[in-house]
Amino acid sequence: MAENMQRKFDKYWGECNFLICIAAILDLRSKMKLIDFSFCVIYFEEEAPRQILIMRHSLYELYKGYMDEYVATNVGTSMEND
């Protein structure tokens, strides 16, 4: 029974963990420091750096998507003003 509960917890923690981490990184008070510290506590020694790298990559992808949208919007607006 405990193993079944652990599997369910791991599944939901993995999904929820991603959103909580992005929110923590975007919080001006903690930024990546909280993630670096927390992941070293939560995950095994060899797993923590991999999880931190996944978080960083996801954040870079989020930022890249935002910048692509921002540049496309501003280029269109700039051309309309000329």
Per-residue pLDDT of 45-56, as tens digits, reads 888 999 899 999
Kindly tell me if the per-residue pLDDT of 82 is higher than 80.
no
Q: Helix %, strand %, coil % for the chain, to 5?
A: 85, 0, 15
Question: How confident is the model at residue 42, as a pLDDT?
Answer: 85
What ranges do the domains of the chain cover?
2-81
Question: How confident is the model at residue 81, as a pLDDT?
Answer: 58
The encoded tokens of residue 59 equal 């954040």
